[in-house]
Structures are given as structure tokens and as C-alpha cells.
A and B are shown apart, each in its own frame.
Chain A
Amino acid sequence: MASETGLKRTPLFDLHLELGAKMVPFAGWEMPVQYPMGVLKEHLHTRAAAGLFDVSHMGQVILPAGAVAALEALVPVDVAGLGLNRQRYAMFTDAAGGILDDLMVANRGDHLFLVVNAACAEADSAHLRAHVPGVEVIADRALLALQGPAAETALARLVPGVAAMRFMEVATLVWEGAELWISRSGYTGEDGFEISLPEGRAEGFARALLAMAEVAPIGLGARDSLRLEAGLCLYGHDIDTTTSPVEAGLAWAIQKARRAEGARAGGFPGAERILAELAQGPARRRVGLRPEGRAPMREGTEIFAEESGGAALGRVTSGGFGPSINAPMAMAYLPATLTEGTLVYGEVRGKRHPVRIAPMPFHPHSYKR
């Protein structure tokens, strides 16, 4: 659905308004950035109970089961080795070894199910169509995420089968005659689920969840602080065509089969650079930063080795305040020679403030493995 502003609307648009959401343009969509609860409390609610997110703006794509090899030619990921009803994190790379988008790939038996970023969805579809036969872009399904320690309890009241799922497992389950494509995954560091369902059933399903005491609606504002605390990358900020998967600290997503001497080594765009970086280590890498003071260091903040003088070592790609850690946090690309614990300086409003290279996630993950 499109509005007069040319922005697309999800099937939950009217519900967002009814819930008092503040709507903002995001990647061509009109999306809720926060509800009356506010970003801080929405964030904390998700970590304490369960948060419901409308992520229907994200792209949903189906590939035939026979497209495994064609998809593997676009991603440095072992798709052939992905078990039935399992999901895996992946990224489309370009010839220079940069990242075109990051995505989830699920093996749903007779097909592969992909979820891609809204801002990249059109380019991803074109990219897939150019290289993979039988690409089907899903335009009639909503996507919701239910995240937090109470997510299982809440969702199981509607769909009991979810209780048996493990982290990164996918299943097809039925709620009042509607087919749900569920994965136990998310973008908050919490246990939780992502649920693809027919667009006409999305509002009823969301209302059934929101009627539960544990569940509150959560906007894009808290989605961002939750994923940043969890150390997860945001495409277009922490990763893009100028960063390689290895620089981005995503080497864990490149399985043995696609590495040098693996069963299907290389054979993806940018393999030469990416395999060389895996072998020798990258010159720079994405690191976590914990400012010593209380002032957040936002995206674009330049990082220096010294309190004055010298050239910038790198810059912050995402930064803000972490409600659960009750402190500012950031990610930046810095020379790989700088180890965890190193004190560097971030320049905020013309003044350099001490900031320490810190491990990620900033807030521990609590996946149900």
C-alpha cells in the first residue's frame, strides 16, 4: 500500500496509528519509530518481557530448492550444507569483496526463504534475478518479530509448536487457518521469533499478541539500540560495499566449505580478497567502543590515537546510548593492530574524549540454542 507521500505502508499501518506511534520515513516506508512508551522503556521492556516489531518492510524472497549452487555463487556462505528447517546468516558480496547486503537464508525443504534489508530489497531482487533462476519476490506477506525472554511463552499461546524450536530453526505452523513461516531468530540479542504471515491476517495476529500482558509494541528506535547492544551490524552504516565481511568481523558466517581448501572453496564475488583476509587478517576491523564518560559518540565521530594532534584512525559507524548497559556504546573500524582494552579518543563537538576498545556484544545474547 502506498500513501500520498509516496511512502509504502505495511499491513499494520492503521494499528500503529491507533497505538499512538510516531511514524517516520524509513527506506521508502512509513514506519513506527516509537510508541508512547518511548525508546528507552521499549528497549528495556523487550529485554525484560517481549517486544513486538513490525518488520514487514523487509524483503521476503523465495528461491527454488535447486538454486542452492546459484545462490552460493553470490554469497561466501555454505548454503548446500544448511540442514532442513535451518536458517543461516549470509551476505551478498561484490567483486571487490564489499558487502551488497546482509540477509537470512532458510532451507524450507522445497525452497529457500530469504529475508533481506528493506533499503536493499529492490537491488537484491535484481541481483538475484540476474544470477538465479526462479526468483519469487513475496509481496503479500507481512513480517513480525517477537523478541525477549517472554516471547516463547506469549507466542506459544497462539502457536504451541514454537516451544520446541531452537535458535535459527524454521518451521511452518498454522494459526487460525493462516500459514506462518516462523524462525527462531531476531535482531535484538534476545531469544525470539520472526513470523512471516499473510498480510490480511497480520493485524489480527498482532492484536492477539498485544492483548497479552508481556507484549508491547516496539519501534525502530529501540530496534536500533537493541541491535547495537547486541553487537549486530546495520547495513548502510556498519557494513556496506566499502567493508569486507572479514573486516566487519563476520568471518564466523563464512563456513569451512567456502574457505581455502574447503569442499567448495571460493566461487563467490570478491573471493580473492576475502580468502586472503581470512588467511592474513584484515588491515582494519570493526570493533566495539565504550566511551569512558557519559556522552554518546554518534555515527561519524572520528577516532584518534592521542588526545591531540595526529590523523584519524577511523570513525564510528553506529553509536548511541545503551539502555540495558546504562552507558554509551559505539562501533568503529580501527586498525587491526589495536587490541581490546586500548584507550583511544573520540572527537565530539571539537573535544577529544577517552574511549576504550571493548568486546561485543555489549549486552550478552540469550539465544535458545
Chain B
Amino acid sequence: MTIKFTEEHEWLRVEGDLVVVGITEHASEQLGDVVFVELPEPGTKVAKGDEICVIESVKAASDILAPVDGEIVEVNEALSDNPALVNEDPLGAWFFKMKVEDMEQLDAFMSEEDYKDFIG
């Protein structure tokens, strides 16, 4: 299983021809307790850098950006009902799965080791 990390503190896990996206433990700690998650509509076509999710914590609102070009095929409705999952299990609390035309887009992202160096 391949897992990659972005500079925006997202994790990307490859499942077949899909990429599953969540936020890192570091990001969830920085955000604080998450109280609201707004998910995109399945079927939405997105371009890299689009703001596609909103995460509201007790402190502030922040966005999840589309890490690559593709199409949202599934979202994790459990997060709408229980946003605290993002803090409890950041690596398990996926936000959306996207179909990616060109998996090579993922090569540019950091490995787990590189990400650990990145957050210092």
C-alpha cells in the first residue's frame, strides 16, 4: 500500500485506481478539536488546488485542497455525523476517494519519512 504526504498536511493512500485522502495527525493536532466537516458532492470533477472540503475546529476554519486532478467518487459521511473522528484517528478518518487519471501525479509527493522531516 502506497501512502504519500502533501505539504498541505494531507495523506494520500492508493487503493486500486482510487486515491483516498485525509489529513495528517500533525494537521489534526494543529487544528484542534474538529466540530464540522463539509464534504464535496460525489461526481464533482476537481483540479489540483481546488478547495473541496471545509474543516471547522473550535479555533478556526480551514480547507482541504484537491491534491491532484480527478473526480470525487465517494465521501466519508461518517465525518459529517461525527467530526471528532478526525482527531481520534486521523489516518483512519478519510474525507473522500477520488478517481485519478494519471497516478504519476502522486510521485511528486513526500514519503512518510520525508514528511516527518518536513514537519520537523
Partner-B contacts on A (CB < 8 A): 34, 38-41, 221, 225, 294-296, 298, 320-321, 323, 328, 349
Contact A295 B56 (CB under 8 A): yes
Among B32, B54, B58, B84, find the residue whose CB has the most chain A CB atoms closer than 10 A: B58
- A-B contacts, 30 of them at CB < 8 A, read A38-B32, A38-B87, A39-B32, A39-B33, A39-B58, A39-B59, A40-B33, A40-B35, A40-B84, A221-B32, A221-B59, A225-B58, A294-B35, A294-B80, A295-B38, A295-B54, A296-B35, A296-B36, A296-B56, A296-B61, A298-B60, A298-B61, A320-B58, A321-B35, A321-B36, A321-B56, A323-B58, A328-B35, A328-B36, A349-B54
> What distance in Å separates the Cβ of A217 from its nearest Cβ neighbour in chain B?
16
Contact A295 B32 (CB under 8 A): no
Contact B58 A40 (CB under 8 A): yes
13 further interface pairs, Cβ-Cβ under 8 Å (given A38-B32, A221-B32, A294-B36): A34-B32, A38-B33, A40-B33, A40-B84, A41-B33, A221-B59, A295-B36, A296-B61, A298-B61, A321-B36, A321-B56, A321-B58, A328-B35
When C-beta atoms are compared, the residue in chain A nearest to B36 turns out to be A294
Q: Which 10 A-B pairs have the closest CB atoms?
A: A40-B33, A321-B35, A39-B58, A294-B36, A296-B56, A295-B36, A38-B33, A39-B32, A39-B33, A321-B58
CA distance A248 to B28 in the complex (A): 36
> What distance in Å separates the Cβ of B51 from its nearest Cβ neighbour in chain A?
9
CA distance A146 to B54 in the complex (A): 35
CB-defined contacts of A294 to chain B, threshold 8 Å: 35-36, 80
> What distance in Å separates the Cβ of B35 from its nearest Cβ neighbour in chain A?
4
CB-defined contacts of A221 to chain B, threshold 8 Å: 32, 58-59
CA distance A320 to B35 in the complex (A): 10
CA distance A349 to B51 in the complex (A): 11
> What distance in Å separates the Cβ of B76 from its nearest Cβ neighbour in chain A?
15
When C-beta atoms are compared, the residue in chain B nearest to A39 turns out to be B58
CA distance A14 to B33 in the complex (A): 25
Q: What is the interface of chain B mostly: helix, strand, loop, or mixed?
A: mixed
CA distance A163 to B45 in the complex (A): 63
CB-defined contacts of B35 to chain A, threshold 8 Å: 40, 294, 296, 321, 328
CB-defined contacts of A320 to chain B, threshold 8 Å: 58
When C-beta atoms are compared, the residue in chain A nearest to B30 turns out to be A22
When C-beta atoms are compared, the residue in chain A nearest to B56 turns out to be A296
CB-defined contacts of A41 to chain B, threshold 8 Å: 33
CB-defined contacts of B61 to chain A, threshold 8 Å: 296, 298
Among B32, B60, B84, find the residue whose CB has the most chain A CB atoms closer than 10 A: B32
CA distance A161 to B80 in the complex (A): 48
CB-defined contacts of B58 to chain A, threshold 8 Å: 39-40, 221, 225, 320-321, 323
CA distance A38 to B33 in the complex (A): 7
> What distance in Å separates the Cβ of A316 from its nearest Cβ neighbour in chain B?
13
> What distance in Å separates the Cβ of B115 from its nearest Cβ neighbour in chain A?
22
When C-beta atoms are compared, the residue in chain B nearest to A43 turns out to be B58
CB-defined contacts of B56 to chain A, threshold 8 Å: 295-296, 321
> What distance in Å separates the Cβ of A227 from its nearest Cβ neighbour in chain B?
14
CB-defined contacts of B84 to chain A, threshold 8 Å: 40
CA distance A225 to B35 in the complex (A): 13
CB-defined contacts of A225 to chain B, threshold 8 Å: 58
CB-defined contacts of A298 to chain B, threshold 8 Å: 60-61
CA distance A34 to B61 in the complex (A): 18
CB-defined contacts of B60 to chain A, threshold 8 Å: 298
CA distance A319 to B38 in the complex (A): 18
